[in-house]
Structure 1
Amino acid sequence: MSNYRKANYRTKDGQRLTAQQYKNRRKFEIILHLSLLVACIVAVICLAVTLIHKSIHNANTQEVVETATDSATAELTIVDTIVEDVVIEKDNPYLKTSEDSASFFSGYEVTIDDNTKLITSDNVQSSYGVLVDLDSGKVIAQKDGNVRINPASMTKILTLLVAAEHIENLDDTFTMTQEIGNYIFSKDCSAVGLKVGDVQTIRDLMYGTILPSGADAAMCLAEYVSGSQEEFVKLMNEKLDELGISSTAHFTNCIGIYDKDHYCTLLDMAMILKAAEENELCHEVLNARTYTTSPTSEHPEGITISNWFLRRIEDKDTHGDVVGAKTGFVNESGCCGASYQISNDGSHYICVTADAWSTWRCIYDHVDIYDTYTS
C-alpha cells in the first residue's frame, strides 16, 4: 500500500507532491471515475433500448404476417365459394322471340265485347270466324268465335310450338317407324310421304308437320321429344294451361284426329297461333312456302313440300301480306284455317275460320275478312 501511494503521489523524480499538486491529481481522478461511470450507464441504457425496440419490431412483424395470412386465407375462401355457386346455363336458341312479336299485346287473353263487329257478309261462308288485332289485343270481328270446335290439323300449330320448346338440335335425326306408319294409315291422315326406315332431321319433321300437314312428321316429332304421342300430348295440354286457355281448350292427340275431348274455340286457336308466331323458329316454319326434305328411300333428292294456303292466298288482295298459315279438315268441323297477316299499315292480325265446304272457300273467307276489317 505504501509503494502504491508512493507511485501515485510522487513526482517522476521521486519527490513528494505539494498540497496543491495532490488536490489537482485527486480532482482529476474523481472526474475520470465519474466519466467512466456515466459512460457505463449510457451504454446499458442504449443496450436496453435496442433490445426493447427489436422485441417490439419482431412482435409487429409477426402480427402483420399473421394478418396477411388470415386475409389471404379469407380471400381464397371467398373465391372458392363463388366458384362453387356459379351455374352456367346454355341458352336454347329455339326459344328466341320473333321480330314481329315486339309489337304484339302481352298475354293471351282476348274477349268479344260490344265493340266487336259481327261478320255478316254473305261472302264469308264459313260457319265460324274471328279476327284479332295482335297489336291491341282487340277482337275486331267475329262470328261465333267462342263456339267450341274440333281444330282438326290446326292442332299441328301447337305440335310445332311444343316441339320447338323442347328440342336441342334441329340437325338431330329420327327414323320413321312401322308403328307410326300403321297409325296414320289406319286414321287416313295427310302425310309427307315418309316410309319405314326413312331418316329425317328434326328440321325436316317441323316443316313436314306444317307445310303439307304431315301426320307422319308430327308423330315422329312427338316420339322424338317425348317417346310417345301420349306423353307429348301432356306437354301440349300443359302449354294450353300456360297460355291460360285450358278451361276452353283440351287436346288428345298431336295431329288433329277427331275426338269429342279434342277441342278449342276459334279465339283459343288464335292465341295458339299468336304464341307460335312469337317464337322465331315457328314463325320461320309457318312462313315457308316450300321446303325440300332430306333424301328418302323413294326420293333420293328429297321431297319438296308446299304450304298451299300461303301460295294460293299470296296473289289475293288482303290489304297486306299473309305470312303464316295452317289449314285443317275433319268431317265434324269442315275446312278450317288459321292465318297471320301483316297489313299495309304495319298492323298485325290473326284470322281463324271453321266449317267451310272446301279449302278454296276457306281461303276466300280469309281474304274477305281481311279485306273488310283491315287497312
Structure 2
Amino acid sequence: MSAFRYDHQIPRTAICRPARRADAAPVSTVPRRRSHSWRTTIAVVMAAAIVCLTALLYATGGAPFGPTVSFDGLNSRYAMLIDADSGEAIASRDADARMYPASLTKVMTAVVVLDHADALDAVVEAPADMFPALWEQNASMAGLQPGESATVEDMLYGLMLPSGADCAIALARYVAGDVEAFVEMMNRTAAALGMSGTHFTNPTGLHDADHYSTARDMTTLFAHAMQNDTFRAIAGSRSHTMSSASLHDGDLTVDSTVFEELGTPFVAGGWIVAGKTGYTPEAGLCLATAARFGGRTYILVTAGAPGDHATSQADVDDARYVYGQIPGL
C-alpha cells in the first residue's frame, strides 16, 4: 500500500501582550488564532483508518474487501482456495490431509516437461510397449497409436485436455530416458516447491498407495504451473488438433474434460480460465481450476468428491458453489 503523507500549515504563534490590570475596563481585543488541535485530531483519525485498512488487506488475503468463503456445502472431502495474486489462503477443508491426486498428477508431469524439454517442436514417439499396461488399467488416453509420434507441444495438449496417459508416458521417456528417472524429477520439483506432503510414483496419476499429495500441495503446484505462459494456454483451451500426430493425417483432435463438464466457463461474477480433472475409484473426483474475478485470479483444488465422471458432477458442483461466493467486480 502506498504511504500517505499529511502536510500541516503550522499556525503562527500569537503575539504576547502585557496583562491588563484587573480593574481595567473591558476593551475589544484581536481574536486569538484557534488552536491547531483539530488538525492533529484529524491526522490521528486518518492514520488509524489507514492502519485498520492495512489490517483488513492482510486479513483478506491481500485484496481489499476480499471474499469470505464457506466450504460447509462441499461434496469434496479435501479442498483449498487461494488468491493466486497474493498467495494467501481464503478457505480450506482438510487441506493437509493425505489424499490421492489421480490425474491432477499430470500438472506436475507438464511442469517437469516444460522445465526440461529441449523444444516444444521436438518430436516424441509413443513406444508400442507402453500401451498394453495402460489398456489393462483402463487409463484415459489422448488417442495415440502404438509407435505414433507428435511434437512435445501437441503431446502436452494430449496430456492436459483429455488427460492422456499415453502422452504422459511418452513425454516422461523422452525427457528422462525412462519413467523411473522422470518420477525422481517430479519428486525433486515437488520438494523445491515446498510440497512436503506429496510423493509421486508415476507420471499418470494411476493409483498407487505410495502416490499421494494434499489439497494444499496441489494448490501450490497449480499456482506455480499457471505462471508459465505455455501451460496457461494449454490448460485454458477447450480443444486442440494435434496436427503433428504421425498416424492420424493431422486430424487428431482432443477436447478438455474440464470445459466439457463445465458447459460454460462463467461462474457468478467471474469465469474459469484453466483447469485439470482427475479420477480414480480411490481418489474420487478431483478438480483443479483457476478463475478470474474483478482482475484477480483464484485457484481452487478439490478432491475426494463422490461418484465418477460418468455418473456425477460433484466436483464441478463444488467449483460453482465456491466461486459463486466470490463477488464479481
TM over 0.5: yes
Q: When the two structures are superposed, what TM-score results if normalisation uses the length of structure 2?
A: 0.74
Q: What is the distance in 2 between the residues matched to 1:297 and 1:276?
A: 28
Percentage of identical aligned residues: 34
Give the 5 Å matches for 1:290-309: 290-294=239-243, 296=245, 299-309=248-258
SS at match of 1:136: coil
2:190 is aligned to 240
Whether 2:100 is the aligned partner of 1:147: answer: no
**Cα separation, partners in 2 of 1:287 and 1:117, compared to 1, 3 Å:** closer
Whether 2:237 is the aligned partner of 1:288: answer: yes
SS at match of 1:367: helix
- Residue type at the aligned position of 2:226: E
- Runs of 4+ deviating beyond 4 Å: 115-118, 295-298
2:284 is aligned to 334
Q: What is the distance in 2 between the residues matched to 1:295 and 1:164?
A: 18
Whether 2:322 is the aligned partner of 1:350: answer: no
SS at match of 1:158: helix
Give the C-alpha shift of residue 315 in structure 1: 4.5
- Residue type at the aligned position of 2:168: A
SS at match of 2:92: strand
2:315 is aligned to 362
1:230 is aligned to 180
Q: What is the distance in 1 between the residues matched to 2:244 and 2:181?
A: 29
Give the C-alpha shift of residue 299 in structure 1: 2.9
1:372 is aligned to 325
Partner of residue 71 from structure 2, selected from 105, 119, 127: 119
Partner of residue 138 from structure 2, selected from 188, 198, 212: 188
Q: What is the distance in 2 between the residues matched to 1:156 and 1:146?
A: 20
Unaligned stretches of 5+ in structure 1?
A: 1-114
SS at match of 1:256: coil
Q: What is the distance in 1 between the residues matched to 2:265 and 2:229?
A: 25
Hey, which of these two has a bigger chunk of helix by percent?
Answer: 1
- Residue type at the aligned position of 1:336: C
Q: What is the distance in 1 between the residues matched to 2:268 and 2:319?
A: 8
Q: Are the equivalent residues in 1 in contact too, given 2:265–2:271 (CA < 8 A)?
A: no
Q: Are the equivalent residues in 2 in contact too, given 1:310–1:323 (CA < 8 A)?
A: no
Q: What is the distance in 1 between the residues matched to 2:323 and 2:68?
A: 15
1:269 is aligned to 218
1:253 is aligned to 202
Out of 247-256 and 290-299, give the one that drifted further.
290-299
2:25 is aligned to none
Q: What is the distance in 2 between the residues matched to 1:370 and 1:326?
A: 16
**Count of residue correspondences:** 257
**Cα separation, partners in 2 of 1:373 and 1:315, compared to 1, 3 Å:** closer
Give the 5 Å matches for 1:1-375: 118-121=70-73, 124-245=74-195, 247-294=196-243, 296=245, 299-313=248-262, 314-343=264-293, 345-356=294-305, 357-359=307-309, 360-375=313-328
Q: What is the distance in 1 between the residues matched to 2:119 and 2:244?
A: 19
Unaligned stretches of 5+ in structure 2?
A: 1-66
Give the C-alpha shift of residue 279 in structure 1: 1.1
Q: What is the distance in 2 between the residues matched to 1:268 and 1:170?
A: 27
SS at match of 1:149: coil
Q: Are the equivalent residues in 1 in contact too, given 2:104–2:205 (CA < 8 A)?
A: yes
Larger radius of gyration: 1
SS at match of 1:268: helix
Q: Are the equivalent residues in 2 in contact too, given 1:321–1:342 (CA < 8 A)?
A: yes
